[in-house]
Structure 1
Amino acid sequence: MPFPFIPYPSAKTGYWSPVTSTLNWCEEVRNVVMAWQKSWELTFIQDYYATVYAAEIVNTLTNVLFMWLGIKGIISCRRNQHDQIFLVAYLGYLLVGTGSFLFHSTLKYPMQLVDELSMIYTTCLMAYASFSYSRSTRVRIILAISLLSLAVFITLYYHYLQDPVFHQNAYALLTAVVVFRSVYTMEKTLRPRFRKTREEDRLAREKKGLPVPTKEHQHYENVRDTKTIKTMWFMVGYGLSMFLGGFFIWNLDNQFCTQIRRWRRTIGLPWGIFLEGHGWWHIMTGIGAYLYIIWGIWLRHCLNQRQEEYHLRWARAWHIPEVVRTSPPVGENGVTRDKKST
């Protein structure tokens, strides 16, 4: 049976025309004109080749994953009673996917700002969640004002420059800072050899009026936290590989756009969809960003000494992970045990 081949349709006049965005991605093109360039060829970009309602159909539809994961995360936060900052982060994540959906549908400059700046705002929220933990109210207020001022500065300066490189660098720098901070907190708090010595921990517990753990229970906590860190590191590596892999594919899309367009026209639809680099960027960064928020939620519960109340549900690497509330353990007499007891 021969493989299906559907030729790419001709470009149409779009419902949202004209294009006002400062960016246009490497989706299909139908018109080619000759001009004085290094290659003697200038590609005249035409969108709306599939439907008049979406300028870039693949880049538009790949954001559905973003939107679905955002809604899933919001529902999970409410159902499992995670900290409110992560509910707000998921709302920002949903805004990123929705903004990108609208931007690639319309290629309008206002939608471009919604798409790109919501990435900055969501990362600032995660920065607040990472740096504000266990801080005083005064420090939290200062941190919130500082991050808000940074977000406003990036917004205004980016609108003034209209240079996507500035946005990409700002987003990459913010993300790197937040990830490194979270890794430092994870290692310092959960890695047994980096925690307080047993005697320091016993004195701290006694001072706070908390029960002092037995040697057996301390060993149990060390084994539990070591296993937790191992899984967290896998999650960090998985998410980072998604980000970097998506960026690599997108960069190939930018560097070899003309050739990739020729390949897509040669193999036709539906196979040409798999050569849409920016669409892969949406899918892979959507998964990577979702993994990072899940990691942040799980880490916060660990920092709050609530490891026994929550667990990570992630049976396979290709499944969608979720931090869920664990049922209270039940003793031999059928009575729910206090998780703080030792």
Structure 2
Amino acid sequence: MAVKPAWLPSIPYPPAQEDGYWAPITSTLDWCEENYYATRYSAEIVNTLTNLLFVWLAFKGMYNCYKHGHDRIFFITFFGYLIVGSGSFAFHATLKYPMQLVDELSMIYTTCLMTWASFGHNRPLPFRVMLGIGIAGLALFITLYYHYLQDPTFHQNAYAILTIVVLLRSMFIMEKNIRPHFNERQEDRTQNGSAKGKMNAAEIERIEERDRAILKKMWLMVAVGLSVFLGGFGIWNLDNMYCSKLRVWRREIGLPWGLLLEGHGWWHLMTGVGAYFYIVWGIWLRHCLNGRQDEYEAVWPSLFTSLPSIEKRKTNANGSVKKTN
């Protein structure tokens, strides 16, 4: 049982309401946060407002894509990320079924974009067109079948499978195409000799050190993003499993401290950050696959107090790109 220290100031929770502005509830899901206790204009105030992180990070990502010339697919992906956050904002504010579909299906569509970007890169145009048609067909099937079933478990499983597939694919091509050991194996098979054979030893060593440093930072980015995402998933599940206890504890602790026990709100914050890490990693990976490691770098000043971004390197006075040591 949660016991609030006597010295901790708080105010009692207002009673939950059923006649809010957006009533009645038509969604197939209603989360652990009590409805309309804070304002009649938002069914779940914490679950609504935590989606503003998605909105901020989406605009941050789109601006970075525009400023630093990243591939258009990532600008579109960040726009999809914006729709996810906006849809979730509307869903939790209203608990209406159409807004639930916007929230949940935009997650599927954004992940499908990343699937196409991952599997279609450097492939012939006919392959990319057929891949796009196939992925669009899959997205349509998920949409229609989910609307027919109206079972959130189907959506959650479909999203999880898509995410795992594209994540594992990206990890594979990252190691295969960037790590010097695997690059050397590929070059040894070429008939015309490797590009490294035309370089001096110092340049070869610089490139290999650069790529190993990039991989180290990439894996750190993957580890942090995945840990935050899975941490949010764990908290969300605890919120579902112990909802009745959490509601009692919140009312015992009072406001504003009880807001810290809104597990679905933490899910929004942590998955928002985790998804942002994944998209940024995808941008950096794409530049590396295009052989532009010396042109772009990951700017990540602090592991715990800042978010990474991929930016163009500064140039020398003569216009050449500054190389890493």
* TM-score of the alignment, normalized to the shorter chain, above 0.5: yes
Q: Over residues 192-250 of structure 1, what are the superposed CA-to-partner deviations in whole Å (9 max), with x where a residue is unaligned?
A: 111134655793566xxx99322211111110100111111111111111121111111
Cα separation, 2, equivalents of 1:102 and 1:201: 55
- Report SS of the residue matched to 1:101: helix
Q: For 2:15 and 2:232, how far apart are their aligned partners in 1?
A: 29
1:24 paired to 2:7: no
Larger Rg: 1
**Structure 2 unaligned residues grouped into runs of 5+:** 1-5
Q: Tell me, in whole angstroms, the C-alpha distance in 2 between the residues paired with 1:4 and 1:175.
A: 43
> Partner residue of 1:261?
247
Name the count of aligned residue pairs.
Answer: 315
From 280, 291, 295, the counterpart of 1:309: 295
Q: What's 2:10 paired with?
A: 5
- Partner residue of 2:167 out of 158, 179, 196: 179
Identical aligned residues as a percent: 57
For 1:199 and 1:5, locate their aligned partners in 2 and report how far apart those are by CA, in whole Å: 69
Counterpart check, 1:284 vs 2:270: yes
Q: 2:313 aligns with which of 321, 326, 330?
A: 326
- TM-score, normalised via structure 1 length: 0.89
Summarize the alignment of residues 29-108 of structure 1 with structure 2, pairs less than 5 Å apart.
Answer: 47-108=35-96
**Partner Cα separation in structure 2 for residue 259 and residue 65 of structure 1:** 28
Report what 1:298 is aligned to. 284
The structure-2 alpha-carbon separation of the partners of 1:48 and 1:77, relative to structure 1 and needing over 3 Å to count, comes to same
Partners of 2:322 and 2:44 in 1: CA distance: 53
Greater displacement, 120-129 / 7-16: 7-16
Contact 2:295 2:321 in 1 (8 A): no
Partner AA of 1:247 in structure 2? F
1:232 aligns with one of 207, 211, 218: 218
The letter of the residue matching 1:128 is W
- Unmatched tracts of structure 1, length 5 or more: 29-46
**1:132 is aligned to 2:138:** no
Structure 1 distance, partners of 2:48, 2:169, is 33
In the alignment, the residues of structure 1 paired with residue 172 and residue 194 of structure 2 have an alpha-carbon distance, to the nearest angstrom, of 23
Q: 1 CA distance for matches of 2:24 and 2:50?
A: 23
Secondary structure, counterpart of 1:324 in structure 2: strand
Match of 1:121 in 2: 109
Map of 1:114-263 to 2, 5 A cutoff? 114-197=102-185, 203=192, 212-263=198-249
CA distance in 2, matches of 1:229, 1:123: 23
Q: Structure 2 length normalisation: TM-score?
A: 0.93
Q: Distance in 2 between matches of 1:188 and 1:146?
A: 25
User: Which residue of structure 2 aligns with residue 336 of structure 1?
Assistant: 319
CA distance in 2, matches of 1:5, 1:18: 31
Q: Which amino acid is 1:119 matched to?
A: M
